[in-house]
Chain A
Amino acid sequence: MKSLAVKNLKGKPVRTAVLILLSALLTAAVFGASVIVSSLRTGLGSLENRLGADIMVVPYEATTQKKFENIVLQGATGYFYMDNKRAEQVMQTEGIKQASAQYFLASTSSSCCSVAVQIIGFDPETDFTITPWVKKSYGSQLKKYDVVVGNDLNAFVGDSIQFFGVECHVAAKLERTGTSFDTAAFTNTETIKELINTSVVKKMNSVGDVDPDNAVSCLMINVAEGYTPEQVVNDINLHVKKVKAIRSEELISGVSQSLDGVCEVIGIMIAAVWLLGLVILILAFTMSINERRKEFAVLRVIGASRAGLAGIVLKEACLSCLLGSVVGAGIGLLVIIPFNGFIEQLMGLPFLLPGAGELVKYILAALALSVISGALAAAVSALRVSRIDTGVILRGDN
C-alpha cells in the first residue's frame, strides 16, 4: 500500500510539489528559528564564561554611548578614555582584590580587513579577563607589536598587519566567540599606547582632553573576600569623580534581557508559523482528498479496509512532509551557516552556532515535528476517508 501512496504522489506532481514546498517552508522556519535561539543562548553562555570580572569602571561619558555595553562586553568598535589618575584613585578603594586596565581603539583602516577592527589593549601583568582566554590559543607572552586576532579576521599566524601605519605581527588566532570579539585584535599595553599615540598624531582618532600617554579606557575589578560588588561599586561612584562603576552582572543582564525578548518573539513567531502551516496543510490535504473521494470509494470496493484507506492518506502526508522537511532543513542550514555573522551584527547579540551534534539533533527534531504536523493535518482527512460511504459515492453518476 505504500507503493500506492507513492504512486499517488508521483501521479500528481504539481499537487505533491506544493505539499513538499509547504512543509519545506514550515521546517525551514521552525528549524531556522530554533537554531537562532539556541545560537543566541550559546553565545550568551560564552560571554558569561569569559567575563570573569565583578566590576567594570569606565569614564562617565562612556555610559552615554549607545553601544557602550557592547564595547565592553563583546568587543564592538568604539572607544572612550579617562586619565590614568582616575584609575589610580579607583584602585585606592577598599575591597579590591584584582584590578587591570584595558584600552580600546577602533581602527577603520587596518591593512587586513574590510571591517572595522576593535583593538583592545591589556596589561599581561595584571590582566585576569583576557589572558585565560588568549592562553587557549597562545602559550607565551605577547611582545611589543604582537597581536592576537579574532577568529573572523582575515589574518593568520605569522602575517603582519598594519594599524594606523604601524606594522604588527599576528602571534595567534582566537577561537570563535559569536561576538564582536571575533573581529577584534588584542595587544599588550606597550603596543596599544603606541597605536593610540600614532592615531592621535595622524588625526585619525581623538582622546579628548586626556593625555594619550596616560589614557585608560576601562578598569576590570575583582572584589576581595568579605566585600560585595555592590559595596565596592557604591564606594567608587561616591568617591571618584567622572567615572562610573558598574557590576558586570548588571551589564550582562541587559544583554540577557534583550536576548530573552528576542527569544520570546522568535518563539511566538515559530508557534504562529507552525499553526498557520498546520491550517494550510489541513486545507491542502482536505482538498487533495476531496478531489479523490471517488478513487477512495473504488479502493474500498476492491477490498481496502477503512483502516487501510486512512493508512494511505497518512502515508501520503507523512512522505510528502518528510521530503519537504529534508528540503526545509537544508534551506535552513544554507541560510544560517553562511549568514551567521550577518545575523550576529543584525541583532547585536552574541551568536554562536551550536556544534554539529547539536545541529543534527535540531534537524531530527524539525523532521519529526514536520512529519507529526503532516500526520496531524492529514488525520482529519484520513478519518473522513475511512468513513466514506461507498454506496453513495459510486451510485449512478454515469
Chain B
Amino acid sequence: MSLTAEGLTKEFIRETKNTNRFTAVDNVSLTLDSGELTVLMGRSGSGKTTLLNMLSGLLEPSSGRVSYDGRSLYEMSDKQLSRLRNKHFGVIPQGQTAIHSLSVMENIMLPFALYGEGGAEDESYARELMERLDILQLEGAKPAELSGGELRRMAIARAVIRKPPVIFADEPTGDLDDENTIAVFDFLKALAGEGAAVLVVTHENDAKPYADKLLTMSSGRLNECE
C-alpha cells in the first residue's frame, strides 16, 4: 500500500498585484508509506491543510495527481472515491467536527453507520479506542457536554475506527494539554507501528522525535528535512 502525489498544485482565485491567482500548494510530490509516520510542519498559511485535503481525496488539485495503490483518486467517480475515503482513509480534520445529534459512541461508529455497517465487534473496538484515548467514560454523552480536548480525541477515534491504511491528521493536538499531546502522538505512532501510513500536520516541536519522515512547507512548497 502506498499513497503517491505527483506535481500537486492548487491555485485559488485571489486578486494580487500581478495576477488574479494565488498558488496555495505549488508542485508538491511525495509518497506516504505504510508503517511510517510523516510529520508536516510549516507556518500558518503555508498550504498544509490544502495539501492534506488534496491527498485525502477531499479537494481536487488544479494540476497533478494523487494515486492510491495505483488508482488515480480524481479519476474515480464521486461514489467510488467516497467509499475509498470511508474504508481506506482516516481523516482527523482541523477544528471541531462532532455531529451534535449523535452520542460520542454514535459519532465514533459513524463511518460504519453511513453505509449501514458495523457490528458488536466494531463497537468493542470502538470501546478499546476510547479506552486508549481516555474517553471511555463519555461513551453515551452528547458532544455538547464534552471539552475541546475530549471532542478532539473523539474525532481521532472516529477517524481510525475502520482501521484505515492511511491516516491524515490536521493539527490533532491543537487543543490538548501536554500530557494528552504526548498520548496522541504515542497513539498515532502505534498505529504506524501496526502498519498504517500516517501523515500529521502539526506545530508541535514535540512531534519531531516521532517522525520517520519530517517535511516542512513554506509558501506552498515542500522541503524535505529528513
Q: Are A295 and B100 within 8 A (Cβ)?
A: yes
Judged by a CB distance under 8 angstroms, whether A357 is at the interface is no
- A-contact 0/1 string along B170-191, CB 8 Å cutoff: 0100110000000000000000
Q: Are A304 and B82 within 8 A (Cβ)?
A: yes
Residues in B25-67 with C-beta less than 8 Å from chain A: 49-50, 53, 56, 58-59
Contacting residue for B94 out of A299, A307, A396, CB 8 A: A396
Q: Are B99 and A298 within 8 A (Cβ)?
A: yes
Q: Are B111 and A302 within 8 A (Cβ)?
A: yes
Contacts of B79 in A (CB 8 A): 305, 307
Contacts of A294 in B (CB 8 A): 97
Q: Are B113 and A396 within 8 A (Cβ)?
A: no
Question: In the assembly, what is the distance between CA of A302 and CA of B114, in Å?
Answer: 9
Contacting residue for A304 out of B91, B100, B114, CB 8 A: B114
Judged by a CB distance under 8 angstroms, whether A308 is at the interface is yes
Q: Are B95 and A302 within 8 A (Cβ)?
A: no
Q: Contacts A390-B53, A390-B59, A398-B171 given; indicate if A303 touches B115 (C-beta within 8 A).
A: yes
Judged by a CB distance under 8 angstroms, whether B7 is at the interface is no
Question: In the assembly, what is the distance between CA of A300 and CA of B59, in Å?
Answer: 11
- A12, A295, A299, A394 interface centre (most CB from chain B within 10 Å): A394
CB of A327, distance to nearest CB on chain B (Å): 22
Judged by a CB distance under 8 angstroms, whether B150 is at the interface is no
Contacts of A299 in B (CB 8 A): 99, 110, 114
Question: In the assembly, what is the distance between CA of A397 and CA of B113, in Å?
Answer: 27
Contacts of B114 in A (CB 8 A): 1, 4, 299, 302-304, 308
Contacts of B113 in A (CB 8 A): 1, 3-4
- B-contact 0/1 string along A171-194, CB 8 Å cutoff: 000000000000000000000000
Q: Are A396 and B111 within 8 A (Cβ)?
A: no
Chain B residue at minimum C-beta to C-beta distance from A2:
B116
Chain B residue at minimum C-beta to C-beta distance from A298:
B97
CB of B118, distance to nearest CB on chain A (Å): 11
Q: Are B101 and A395 within 8 A (Cβ)?
A: no
Q: Are A305 and B49 within 8 A (Cβ)?
A: no
Q: Are B95 and A301 within 8 A (Cβ)?
A: no
Contacting residue for A398 out of B50, B56, B58, B95, CB 8 A: B95
Q: Are A1 and B106 within 8 A (Cβ)?
A: no
Question: In the assembly, what is the distance between CA of A360 and CA of B102, in Å?
Answer: 37
Judged by a CB distance under 8 angstroms, whether A10 is at the interface is yes
Judged by a CB distance under 8 angstroms, whether A7 is at the interface is yes
Question: In the assembly, what is the distance between CA of A299 and CA of B58, in Å?
Answer: 12
Q: Are A7 and B93 within 8 A (Cβ)?
A: no
Judged by a CB distance under 8 angstroms, whether B96 is at the interface is yes
Residues in B55-90 with C-beta less than 8 Å from chain A: 56, 58-59, 78-79, 82-83, 85-87
Q: Are B97 and A394 within 8 A (Cβ)?
A: yes
Q: Contacts A7-B102, A11-B102, A12-B101 given; indicate if A298 touches B93 (C-beta within 8 A).
A: yes
Judged by a CB distance under 8 angstroms, whether B153 is at the interface is no
Contacting residue for B85 out of A3, A7, A298, A302, CB 8 A: A302
Q: Are B94 and A394 within 8 A (Cβ)?
A: yes
Residues in A297-334 with C-beta less than 8 Å from chain B: 298-308
Question: In the assembly, what is the distance between CA of A302 and CA of B118, in Å?
Answer: 14
Q: Are A303 and B82 within 8 A (Cβ)?
A: yes
Contacts of B56 in A (CB 8 A): 301
CB of B225, distance to nearest CB on chain A (Å): 24
Contacts of A298 in B (CB 8 A): 93, 97-99
Question: In the assembly, what is the distance between CA of A395 and CA of B10, in Å?
Answer: 15
Judged by a CB distance under 8 angstroms, whether B158 is at the interface is yes
Question: In the assembly, what is the distance between CA of A394 and CA of B127, in Å?
Answer: 27
Q: Contacts A307-B78, A396-B49, A398-B171 given; indicate if A301 touches B91 (C-beta within 8 A).
A: yes
Q: Are A7 and B106 within 8 A (Cβ)?
A: yes
CB of B61, distance to nearest CB on chain A (Å): 11
Q: Are B91 and A11 within 8 A (Cβ)?
A: no
Question: In the assembly, what is the distance between CA of A213 and CA of B58, in Å?
Answer: 97
Contacting residue for A301 out of B50, B58, B175, CB 8 A: B58
Q: Are A395 and B49 within 8 A (Cβ)?
A: yes
A-B CB contact pairs (8 Å), 26 listed: A1-B113, A4-B114, A7-B101, A7-B106, A8-B101, A10-B101, A11-B102, A294-B97, A295-B100, A298-B98, A298-B99, A299-B99, A299-B110, A300-B82, A301-B58, A301-B85, A301-B91, A302-B110, A303-B82, A303-B85, A303-B111, A394-B95, A396-B94, A397-B95, A398-B95, A398-B96
Other CB < 8 Å A-B pairs besides A298-B93, A302-B91, A307-B78, 7 of them?
Answer: A1-B116, A8-B101, A298-B99, A304-B86, A305-B78, A395-B53, A396-B49
Which A residues are closer than 8 A to B by beta carbons?
A: 1, 3-4, 7-8, 10-12, 294-295, 298-308, 390-391, 394-398
Which B residues are closer than 8 A to A by beta carbons?
A: 49-50, 53, 56, 58-59, 78-79, 82-83, 85-87, 91, 93-102, 106, 110-111, 113-116, 158-159, 171, 174-175
Which 3 A-B pairs have CB atoms at the shortest separation, nearest pair first? A11-B101, A303-B86, A305-B82
